[in-house]
Chain A
Amino acid sequence: MKLITHNMLTSKCLKGVLTGYPLAIKATNIKVNEVDFNPDFISRIIPKLDWEVLWKAADSIGHSEGLPQTIERNYDEDKEFLKKAHRVLLEVEVEEGYLTCPESGRQFPITKGIPNMLLTEAEVQ
């Protein structure tokens, strides 16, 4: 699971949970997998992100180094910044671990890089 995906996932499907966001990450295995850098895509995705959530998530798994806590206004012209954002968003992968709902504490396992957000039949009744 990439941090770009973490930025978009919630646990509000759980009963009684209002926002279910952001999910906390507990990672037991992290991989860094280099992929092609596309500055246009990174510039496009940044307005869709909750940057604070991204920074905290990166920090919680030890990959926030060099990443600014807030975004500058002309971020799309700052290639160094876009490269760092690219790395955190698309290259850092949580292979094993779990996501935790901030309100209920319900855990969702991540195995082989794929988060399992399924509830049990008891939870959807």
Chain B
Amino acid sequence: MSEYRFFKMWRRYLMWFAHENVDFRYAEMQSILSMLNIPIKFVEKPCVNKPYWIVEFPTEDCIKKVASRSVLLKNCIELWSRATTAERLHSNLKNALINSSGKWIIPENSIENISDTHICPRELLLACSDDRKSFKVEVETFCKHFTMKEKVDKIENFSYLPLHGPVKLKNPDITLAYLEFYGVDPNNVPDQPHDLFFGKWVADGQRELIQTHSLKKRQFIGNTSMDAQLSLIMANQAQVNTGLIILDPFVGSGSLFIAAAHFGAYVWGSDIDFMMLHARSRPTRVGQKVRTEEESIKSNMKHYGTESRYLDVVVSDFSLTNWRGDLKFDAIITDPPYGVREPTERIGIDRENYELSDEHLVNHVPSKVDYGLPHLYSDLLNFAAKHLEIGRRLVCWYPLVREEYKEKQLPSHPCLKLIANSEQVLSKLTARRLLTYEKVSDEVPNMPVDPNAGTHSFREKYFSMGETTRRERKEKKAEDMAAYGLRQFQDIINDVS
């Protein structure tokens, strides 16, 4: 942070986020900022019901770096005016034109946490008045739709701005942005916007990666391949950067590799599922009968141009690790099986004194026993405590029944500090949480399995709860049908009489 200490005049920005995965927004941004060592000041306190933050950064370069990583950020605007009414927005801008103080004017009576009376320095506006610089104005409205005509009318209201360059709609030198925010409830849209913003576009976030990394276009996918957006969020949580070495011990179809390698990491993976690593498991896509010859984790990486950062995958049982004891990874990013769509298994057999004859040894498929979730997470945390460099991260998903969730019951380890914990709701009753741990100590006591640790028997709970609701749903449907039939019958009787 020290290098930014000397910047007296910080720059003010509007950061506009996609309004989804809201619980991940703050965690992703914190991970990116701490990875890039960039300080931030909040002009207004972030609020989950607003898809934007008003912040200050020491330089424009800072916000561009942040935007080059964030997948939840839509774009960043250099803020010129922010108000709760259109009149105020325009009067702020008009006052800005005569603000020659070189800094933001903040009236003494302005309410804390609402910056709608602040006047920006006129230099920001004048920097765009060059008559050789082409420009355009984009109008964005959140939660309300306007026609092109209405948008153009809105733009005309800004005619007092000293913009002397030509208008150019394709690749202009300057893109100005006018945003109106009508709240987040689409069933209750007000006539007038809650908040209005005007400023200069600076950078876009990485939303387009969600399309280029989309599972729909990927050749090799499995039943539980991680969605492109969440994979990228995981890579950011793990602070993946160029040249780092990453491990995914439950690699599956390698969807987390794609995101990590995109940000420059070299990837190792392991999985107990031989058929999956050899891409010979049953095809996941509807209508596909057999997997094609080309399908593999490596060919996926080739497709995205990151093949040179593919290290290897190994068929291995995570409960019996094969990695050298002194090997240290820069991050562990993984999505363990939850026992619902993918089984939680390790090699083993319930029979005692089992022996395998030599004639059966060739092409033998070992039998597996249940690898309970408390065991699995306890092994994972112990492994991370042993195999991570200090200050590096373990990022993993953790399934749970929502009403039973207690933060204290999340897996824990004395060498690992839980630094982020974001929920993705899966159904009415279940959710999974993305847990981010940072290794803080090297003392590595191997913690025994805590049998009470969180989600034991997630599978049983998942299905038993599913069943009751399914039965209830059936009964409800039957009742509705009966009631409908009765009404129809009465209608017919009425018609006849």
> What residues of chain A have their CB less than 8 Å away from a CB belonging to chain B?
1-2, 4-5, 7-13, 21, 35-36, 38, 40-41, 44-45, 48, 90, 111-122, 124-125
Assess whether B268 is in contact with A5, with CB atoms less than 8 Å apart.
Answer: yes
Assess whether B312 is in contact with A120, with CB atoms less than 8 Å apart.
Answer: no
Pick from B57-65, B125-133, B322-330, B408-416 the stretch touching chain A. Answer: B322-330
Number of B interface residues, CB 8 Å? Answer: 40
Given known A-B contacts A118-B272, A118-B274, A124 and B320 have beta carbons under 8 A apart:
yes
Query: Which chain B residue lies CB-closest to A115?
Result: B314
Query: Which chain A residue lies CB-closest to B355?
Result: A122
Interface residue? B367 (CB, 8 A): yes
Assess whether B277 is in contact with A117, with CB atoms less than 8 Å apart.
Answer: no
Interface residue? B347 (CB, 8 A): yes
Assess whether B308 is in contact with A36, with CB atoms less than 8 Å apart.
Answer: yes
- In angstroms, how far is the closest chain A Cβ from the Cβ of B266? 6
Which of A5, A13, A116 interacts with B321 by CB under 8 Å?
A: A13
Instruction: Among B316, B324, B328, B349, find the residue whose CB has the most chain A CB atoms closer than 10 A.
Output: B324
Assess whether A116 is in contact with B274, with CB atoms less than 8 Å apart.
Answer: yes
- In angstroms, how far is the closest chain A Cβ from the Cβ of B272? 7
Which of A12, A41, A111 interacts with B266 by CB under 8 Å?
A: A41
Assess whether A119 is in contact with B366, with CB atoms less than 8 Å apart.
Answer: yes
User: What would 28 A/B residue contacts be, using CB atoms closer than 8 Å?
Assistant: A2-B311, A2-B312, A5-B312, A8-B327, A9-B322, A10-B324, A13-B322, A38-B308, A41-B243, A90-B308, A90-B311, A113-B298, A113-B312, A114-B277, A114-B312, A116-B314, A118-B272, A118-B274, A118-B315, A118-B317, A118-B366, A120-B347, A120-B364, A121-B354, A121-B368, A124-B320, A124-B348, A125-B352
> Measured between alpha carbons, how far is A113 from B278 in the docked complex, in Å?
10
Which of A10, A36, A119 interacts with B347 by CB under 8 Å?
A: A119
Chain A residue contacts of B356, Cβ below 8 A: 120-122
Interface residue? B1 (CB, 8 A): no
> Measured between alpha carbons, how far is A10 from B323 in the docked complex, in Å?
6
Query: Which chain A residue lies CB-closest to B330?
Result: A44
> Measured between alpha carbons, how far is A75 from B314 in the docked complex, in Å?
30
Interface residue? B245 (CB, 8 A): yes
Interface residue? B307 (CB, 8 A): yes
> What residues of chain B have their CB less than 8 Å away from a CB belonging to chain A?
242-243, 245, 266, 268, 272, 274, 277-278, 298, 307-308, 311-317, 320-325, 327-328, 347-349, 352-356, 361, 364, 366-368
Assess whether B314 is in contact with A120, with CB atoms less than 8 Å apart.
Answer: no
Chain B residue contacts of A8, Cβ below 8 A: 268, 323-324, 327
Given known A-B contacts A13-B320, A111-B278, A118 and B347 have beta carbons under 8 A apart:
yes
Assess whether B361 is in contact with A116, with CB atoms less than 8 Å apart.
Answer: no
- In angstroms, how far is the closest chain B Cβ from the Cβ of A32? 14
Assess whether B323 is in contact with A48, with CB atoms less than 8 Å apart.
Answer: no
Number of A-B contacts (CB under 8 A): 103
Query: Which chain A residue lies CB-closest to B268?
Result: A5
Assess whether A121 is in contact with B327, with CB atoms less than 8 Å apart.
Answer: no
- In angstroms, how far is the closest chain B Cβ from the Cβ of A30? 15
- In angstroms, how far is the closest chain A Cβ from the Cβ of B362? 10
Chain B residue contacts of A38, Cβ below 8 A: 243, 308
Assess whether B320 is in contact with A9, with CB atoms less than 8 Å apart.
Answer: no
Chain A residue contacts of B349, Cβ below 8 A: 121-122, 125
Query: Which chain B residue lies CB-closest to A5?
Result: B312
Chain B residue contacts of A111, Cβ below 8 A: 278
Assess whether B266 is in contact with A35, with CB atoms less than 8 Å apart.
Answer: no
Which of A9, A44, A122 interacts with B314 by CB under 8 Å?
A: A9
Chain A residue contacts of B277, Cβ below 8 A: 114
Query: Which chain B residue lies CB-closest to A2?
Result: B312
> Measured between alpha carbons, how far is A106 from B349 in the docked complex, in Å?
20
- In angstroms, how far is the closest chain A Cβ from the Cβ of B138? 38
Given known A-B contacts A40-B243, A41-B243, A45-B245, A121 and B347 have beta carbons under 8 A apart:
yes
Assess whether A121 is in contact with B322, with CB atoms less than 8 Å apart.
Answer: no
Given known A-B contacts A11-B322, A35-B307, A48-B328, A117 and B312 have beta carbons under 8 A apart:
no
> Measured between alpha carbons, how far is A38 from B318 in the docked complex, in Å?
30
Query: Which chain A residue lies CB-closest to B369?
Result: A121
Assess whether A120 is in contact with B366, with CB atoms less than 8 Å apart.
Answer: yes
> Measured between alpha carbons, how far is A111 from B349 in the docked complex, in Å?
25
- In angstroms, how far is the closest chain A Cβ from the Cβ of B314? 5
Assess whether A117 is in contact with B322, with CB atoms less than 8 Å apart.
Answer: yes
> Measured between alpha carbons, how far is A105 from B476 in the docked complex, in Å?
64
Query: Which chain A residue lies CB-closest to B368?
Result: A121
Query: Which chain B residue lies CB-closest to A45?
Result: B245
Assess whether A5 is in contact with B311, with CB atoms less than 8 Å apart.
Answer: yes
Chain A residue contacts of B268, Cβ below 8 A: 5, 8
Query: Which chain B residue lies CB-closest to A111?
Result: B278
> Measured between alpha carbons, how far is A13 from B315 in the docked complex, in Å?
14
Which of A1, A41, A119 interacts with B320 by CB under 8 Å?
A: A119
- In angstroms, how far is the closest chain A Cβ from the Cβ of B310? 8
Given contact pairs A5-B311, A114-B312, a sample of 4 additional A-B residue pairs in the complex whose CB atoms are under 8 Å apart: A7-B324, A48-B327, A90-B311, A119-B366
